[in-house]
A = this chain, B = another copy of it.
């Protein structure tokens, strides 16, 4: 049962908020969908997901990312899921900003404590697609791409690399090598029965190295040279770059760009929003 709980006209199209009972999460969850128009082309608009970072929710991207006008111009629909299940009532879930609520890391937890509800990987790659198909909106779910910020950049890269369902992935300041960064090791140690070793399947740098020989790898990454979390060793784009080189991916397939003077904020994201939308449009509309 999915119900529309808000609808706002924006840039000639509509952004609509839905609430759904998720079987995967065992909880209700909310997500936003932007469509360039309600009627749309007969085959529907291709779909670009945006995964938000720590402390965020399904509203952060549409409110602060500056994506909607550019999606309208490119004829692309946007989908903004939440960053974790909400109200799972796991002990400690609300105690820190980098674990539990708003910190789902887009994985399927396997440690007994978290495994029942913390399943954002399966929710986004599978159930959400079915939910979207059930909406009366002009979406073409045969054409999907994915982007994200920080923890959501990790999610976008992981979902792209460990499935074949997305045409392209892009990330703003992603957590590139979580098995070797504080946020990632904390998350994996808690969420995964196999800890950091199991976490390699959610580490974009590990996955990219293993993707050697895969065709249709289309990845764009931007990070800010003044990002405090880059300095703190949370992001490690150099590990992703090394993985790309080890796997032999050319820059046209994995393009990792350092942006002079920019930081981790939505001011950075909104600055490059247009380029990311246009990047995905190339593959979604090819």
Question: Please, which residue of chain B has its CB at the minimum distance from the CB of A259?
Answer: B9
Q: Judge whether A267 is part of the interface by a CB distance below 8 angstroms.
A: yes
Asked if A2 CB lies within 8 Å of chain B CBs, one says no
| Tally of contact residues, A, Cβ under 8 A | 24
Complex CA distance for A226 and B6, rounded to whole angstroms:
13
Docked-complex contact A68 and B265, CB < 8 angstroms: no
Distance, CA A203 to CA B173, complexed state (A): 47
| Cβ–Cβ < 8 Å partners of A127 in chain B | none
**Residue interface bits A56-79, CB-to-B below 8 A is 1, else 0:** 000000111010110000000000
A262-B68 contact in complex given A15-B267, A63-B63, A267-B15, C-beta closer than 8 Å? no
Contact sample, A vs B, 22 pairs, CB 8 Å cutoff: A8-B265, A8-B267, A8-B268, A9-B261, A9-B262, A9-B263, A9-B268, A9-B271, A10-B268, A10-B270, A11-B270, A12-B271, A15-B267, A62-B267, A63-B64, A64-B64, A66-B69, A68-B267, A68-B270, A69-B270, A69-B271, A69-B274
